[in-house]
Amino acid sequence: MNTDLRTVDLPNGKRVPVLGQGTWHMGEVEKRRGAEIEALRLGIDLGMTLIDTAEMYADGGAEKVVGEAISGCRSDVYLVSKVYPHNASRKGAVAACERSLRRLKTDYLDLYLLHWRGAIPLEETLSAFGDLQRTGKIRDFGVSNFEESDMEQILEEPGGERTATNQVLYNLQRRGIEWDLLPWCRQRRIPVMAYSPIEQGRLLASLRPFSERRGLLPAQVALAWVLCQEGVIAIPKASNIQHVSENRAAVDIVLSAEDLAELDDLYPRPTRKTPLEML
Ligand code: NAP
């Protein structure tokens, strides 16, 4: 299998694979640790080199799992982690990032995201991100769970124009961003990173009849649909190697215009503005 995945451009011209790997709920149960590391390593070997984690996941435990999975191949990986909003002050974000780096056993993150918008002014968080960039601890920064109005605000702050991505909930069942946020980001060439692209497994049953008619698996249809949206990166989480291989194969699936129309009937496009959903 060709391990060079299609890429998506960040606003600064860097390219990242269109399909990455999530890690929420990894590192929670000791006896699953080996399988999680094996799954992440297989994903890297298959080209899914973008790995998304957060200080929040398993209270740092997911970052430790990732640290072990990427040991020996750090430079092949595009590593993303996130800071809690309550840690996102000028000093707090620097300290949180340093803790993440220790757990990840690396000296830099490729991308550091504000996990969601909190009470600390964006200006302060951006100053911390600037400090972290200057000291080489992060290469790029971005946000997560930001509404269009939040995006407008951050882009007006000094340094905010360097925001590399907005990671949000997006899948066939959660299409609200198509109304406003997604076109807004596309216009500015800011990629959207789609989290929970298979709705944490809840999409599988309703997608089964459609998938079976096409000889595909439901998770692959869910991913292929996200992956055919322009300027969107998908980060499914799989701690099972069979799932990892299935997910990788979804990059090569081409959904026809008829397939897409059928999926629009099953999971309609938004017809009005709705608040951004979060998990
Ligand atoms: P998801 O990726 O939509 O679903 C994960 C679930 O689907 C797991 O139970 C996994 O099982 C299963 N699965 C994966 N591939 C499958 C396949 N081929 N067939 C059948 N089942 C499959 O949900 P998610 O973990 O919530 O989202 C993905 C990542 O996005 C997270 O891990 C996290 O990194 C990120 N995220 C970010 C935010 C945020 O606020 N920024 C919020 C939520 C998630 P196994 O593990 O058993 O393989």
CA–centroid distance, residue 62 to ligand 1 (Å): 13
The model's confidence at residue 4, banded by pLDDT at 50, 70 and 90, is confident
Closest Cα to atom 29 of ligand 1: 22
* Coil vs helix vs strand at 187: helix
Query: Which residue's structure tokens are 């340093």?
Result: 98
**Residue 57 annotated among the catalytic residues of the structure:** yes
Across the range 150-161, mean pLDDT stands at: 97
CA–centroid distance, residue 193 to ligand 1 (Å): 13
Residues 6+ apart with CB under 8 A from 137: 94, 97, 98, 101, 107, 108, 109
Mean pLDDT, the chain, whole residue set: 97
C-beta of 23 in contact with ligand 1 (< 6 A): yes
> What are 194-246's pLDDT values in tens digits?
999 999 999 999 999 999 999 999 999 999 999 999 999 999 999 999 999 99
Closest Cα to atom 22 of ligand 1: 243
- Name the percent of the chain lying above pLDDT 70: 99
H-assigned helices in 70-147: 90-104, 122-134
C-beta of 199 in contact with ligand 1 (< 6 A): yes
The CA-CA-CA angle for residues 185, 264, 273, to 5°, reads 45
> What are 27-60's pLDDT values in tens digits?
999 999 999 999 999 999 999 999 999 999 999 9
Question: What pLDDT does 168 receive?
Answer: 98
C-beta of 197 in contact with ligand 1 (< 6 A): yes
Query: Which residue's structure tokens are 């430079």?
Result: 75
Across the range 78-84, mean pLDDT stands at: 98
For 20, phi then psi, to 5°, come to -120, -160
Which of 207, 209, 241, 202 has its CA nearest to residue 224?
Answer: 207
The CA-CA-CA angle for residues 123, 128, 129, to 5°, reads 95
* Coil vs helix vs strand at 269: coil
> What are 100-113's pLDDT values in tens digits?
999 999 999 999 99
Nearest atom in ligand 1 to the alpha carbon of residue 25 is 32
DSSP letter for 10, please.
Answer: -
The model's confidence at residue 2, banded by pLDDT at 50, 70 and 90, is low
DSSP letter for 21, please.
Answer: B
C-beta of 259 in contact with ligand 1 (< 6 A): no
> What are 116-150's pLDDT values in tens digits?
999 999 999 999 999 999 999 999 999 999 999 99
**Residues 38/64, Cβ–Cβ less than 8 Å:** no
H-assigned helices in the chain: 33-45, 61-69, 90-104, 122-134, 148-156, 181-187, 204-213, 218-227, 241-249, 257-266
Question: What pLDDT does 39 receive?
Answer: 98
End-to-end CA gap in the chain: 33
C-beta of 218 in contact with ligand 1 (< 6 A): no
Q: What is the 3-state secondary structure (H, E, C) of 104-126?
A: HCCCCEEEEEECCCCCCCHHHHH
Is 186's pLDDT higher than 60?
yes
